[in-house]
């Protein structure tokens, strides 16, 4: 199984961010760390070994490095870690120092993920990032010096004011630094964010398929956006998207998921776990867990979270859910709510089939029909024959060497296809 550990703090919210994160003082951070450690300990004695850990945020590197060390120590005591376990941690440029980096290393973190986003300081500023590209380069160098041999860099395309040229510059500069892994996302306007407020009307217009020149005109005239604030039109955005794979391939990065690229063998094992149905336990505020037949999450109310994890440890009944023990849904719900967990989602056979397809098809290598048969005792064509045929004919799906996968165009249109895999 996998562990996800959430650190919900950041220096300040970025305009596009809808993650569960917020600025907080040292006191709250300390109390949170304590509660988190209690939560970790409540799982002491779990049988399943842990194959990967991902410390995400927020900005985990905002905690005092010792905090991370304590958390990792608690994890080490409560769980049995596989010897080659991947332990990732997210870090923001400008929040790491040589000293803290070696503490992370010492605590067992063996993979860092930097939220760089862009090599253009103007773009970074408009995103609301707290760092410059220069500061990122510095942090990256520190990380290498501290001995991190597995580093991911997050990048974003389709940004306000971004041009094809600036995106290509970002890609080349990052690729030259030779990280092991690059996540290249296109900007998503999430509801409730300042970016959504500012741009959803424009993005709606872009989604209608208006030509770029017309989009530019309208952005100026109707929405009064200055050139550097304008969202790129669809044609530009699509060219950025296509160039991403080309440029990164030239530098030795292989695309293995819709937005993820890696040097050979450096695919993020933790994330691949999400897409292939490996159970995970979420620890910390708002973190989601998945047992294989059940998904639930922790409260996202910090007050409730702290309260739930003060005083005595819970009785550990939650552990049993991962052991394949299945009482009635009602009993399970009782266990969950008693331990402050929310939104239980029981996954029936059809849900699991759909997730197998939907998540698996995010991978460039797709899903293996043989694996589908092994898990569900039924042929994938028996369940999804019509849909598969339809999209094969349309050139969006392909089957080769025992794998069923989306073509490049299929990946771009994956929602449309995945929606049809829901049962």
Partner 1 sequence: MSFIDQSKIRNFCIIAHIDHGKSTLADRIIEKTGLLTSREMQNQVLDNMDLERERGITIKAQACRTVYKAKDGEEYILNMIDTPGHVDFNYEVSRSLAACDGAVLVVDATQGVEAQTVGNVYLAMEHDLEIFPVLNKIDLPSAHPEEVKSEIEDVIGLDAEDAPEISAKTGQNVEDVLEAIVHKIPAPVGDIQAPLKALIFDSVYDSYKGVIISVRLREGTVKPGDRIRMMATGAEEEVVEVGYFGAGQMIPCDVLEAGMVGYITASIKNIKDTRVGDTVTNADRPCEERLPGYKKVQSMVYCGIYPADSAKYPELRDALEKLQLNDASLYFEPETSAALGFGFRCGFLGLLHLEIIQERLEREYNLDLVTTAPGVVYKIHKTSGEVMELTNPSNLPDPSEIEYMEEPMVKAEIMVTTEFVGPIMQLCQERRGEYQGMEYIETTRALLTYHIPLNEIIYDFFDALKSRSRGYASLDYEIIGYQRSELVRLDILVNKEPVDALSFIVFADSAYDRGRKMCEKLKEEIPRQLFDIPIQAAVGSKVIARETVKALRKDVLAKCYGGDISRKKKLLEKQKEGKKKMRQIGNVEIPKDAFLNVLKLDEN
Minimum Å distance from CB 382 to partner 1?
20
Nearest one of 6, 40, 1 to 292, comparing CA atoms? 1
Distance CA(354)–CA(97), nearest Å, equals 44
Is the Cβ of residue 65 or residue 240 nearer to partner 1 in the bound state? Answer: 240
C-alpha radius of gyration, the chain, whole number: 22
Name the 3-class secondary structure at 83: strand
- Nearest distance in Å: CB 349, partner 1: 16
Closest separation in Å from C-beta 102 to partner 1 = 28
**Closer by beta carbon to partner 1, 146 or else 294:** 294
Burial class (CB in 10 A: 0-12, 13-18, 19+), 233: buried
Helix, strand, coil percentages for the chain (3-state, nearest 5): 45, 20, 35
**Contact 157/237 with Cβ under 8 angstroms?**
yes
Strands 294-298 and 341-346: antiparallel
Q: What is the C-alpha separation between 108 and 351, in angstroms, rounded?
A: 36
| Nearer Cβ to partner 1 (32/142) | 32
Alpha helices (runs of H) in 290-419, residue ranges in sequence order = 302-308, 317-322, 329-338, 349-360, 369-376, 380-393, 408-412, 414-419
60, 95 contact by CB (below 8 A): no
Nearest to 188 by CA among 259, 279, 130, 103: 259
Shortest CB 63 distance to partner 1, Å = 19
Instruction: Give the nearer residue to partner 1 in terms of CB position, either 130 or 347.
Output: 347
- CA distances 133 to 171, 184, 235, Å, are 13, 16, 27
Question: Shortest Cβ distance from residue 297 to partner 1 (Å)?
Answer: 7
Q: 257 vs 339, which CB is nearer to partner 1?
A: 257
- Cα-Cα-Cα-Cα dihedral sign, residues 267, 272, 278, 279: positive
Measured from the CB of residue 267, what is the shortest distance to partner 1 in angstroms? 14
Least distance in angstroms from the C-beta of 163 to partner 1: 18
Of 146 and 262, the one with the shorter C-beta distance to partner 1 is 262
The CA distances from residue 190 to 17, 116, 135, 236, 354, in Å, are 8, 20, 27, 21, 24
Q: How far is the CB of 334 from partner 1 (least distance, A)?
A: 21
Residue closer to partner 1 (CB basis): 65 or 302 = 302
Shortest Å, Cβ 46 to partner 1: 18
Q: Work out how close the CB of 100 gets to partner 1 at its nearest, in angstroms, rounded to a whole number.
A: 25
Query: Which CB sits closer to partner 1, 30 or 347?
Result: 347
Of residues 18 and 229, the one with the C-beta less far from partner 1? 18
Nearer to partner 1, 176 or 208 (CB): 208
Sort residue 376 into left (φ over 0), alpha (ψ -120 to 50) or beta. alpha
Positions that interact with partner 1 (CB under 8 A): 2, 4, 185-188, 207-209, 234, 237-238, 241, 258-259, 271, 274-275, 280, 282, 286-288, 290, 295, 297, 343, 345, 354-355, 358-359, 362, 394, 396, 411-416, 418-420, 422
H helices of 192-324, in order, are: 194-207, 212-221, 234-250, 269-275, 302-308, 317-322
């Amino acid at each position: 199984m996998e562990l996800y550990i959430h650190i919900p703090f950041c220096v300040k919210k970025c305009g596009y961010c809808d993650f569960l994160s917020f600025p907080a003082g040292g006191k709250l951070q300390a109390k949170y760390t304590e509660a988190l450690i209690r939560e970790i300990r409540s799982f002491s004695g779990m049988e399943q070994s842990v194959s990967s850990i991902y410390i995400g945020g927020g900005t985990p590197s905002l905690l005092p490095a010792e905090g991370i060390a304590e958390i990792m120590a608690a994890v080490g005591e409560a769980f049995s870690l596989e010897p080659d376990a991947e332990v990732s941690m997210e870090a923001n440029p400008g929040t790491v120092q040589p000293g803290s980096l070696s503490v992370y290393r010492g605590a067992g973190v063996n993979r860092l993920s930097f939220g760089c986003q862009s090599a253009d300081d103007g773009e970074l500023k408009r995103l609301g990032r707290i760092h410059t590209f220069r500061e990122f380069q510095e942090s990256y160098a520190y990380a290498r010096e501290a001995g991190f041999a597995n580093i991911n860099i997050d990048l974003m395309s389709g940004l306000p004011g971004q041009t094809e040229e600036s995106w290509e510059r970002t890609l080349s500069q990052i690729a030259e630094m030779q990280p092991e892994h690059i996540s290249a996302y296109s900007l998503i306007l999430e509801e409730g964010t300042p970016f959504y407020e500012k741009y959803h009307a424009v993005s709606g217009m872009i989604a209608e398929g208006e030509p770029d020149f017309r989009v530019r005109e309208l952005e100026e005239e109707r929405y009064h956006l200055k050139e550097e604030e304008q969202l790129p039109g669809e044609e530009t955005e699509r060219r950025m998207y296509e160039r991403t794979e080309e440029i990164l391939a030239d530098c030795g990065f292989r695309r293995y998921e819709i937005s993820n690229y890696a040097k050979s063998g450096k695919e993020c094992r933790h994330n691949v776990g999400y897409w292939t149905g490996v159970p995970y336990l979420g620890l910390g505020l708002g973190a989601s867990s998945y047992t294989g037949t059940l998904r639930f999450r922790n409260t996202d109310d910090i007050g409730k979270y702290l309260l739930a994890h003060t005083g005595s440890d819970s009785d550990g009944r939650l552990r049993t859910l991962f052991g394949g023990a299945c009482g009635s849904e009602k009993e399970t719900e009782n266990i969950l709510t008693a331990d402050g967990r929310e939104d239980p989602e029981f996954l029936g056979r059809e849900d699991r089939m759909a997730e197998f397809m939907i998540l698996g098809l995010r991978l460039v290598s797709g899903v293996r029909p043989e694996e589908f048969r092994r898990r569900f005792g039924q042929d994938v064509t028996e369940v999804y024959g019509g849909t598969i045929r339809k999209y094969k004919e349309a050139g969006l799906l392909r089957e080769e060497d025992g794998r069923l996968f989306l073509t490049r165009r299929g990946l771009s249109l994956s929602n449309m296809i995945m929606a049809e895999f829901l049962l």
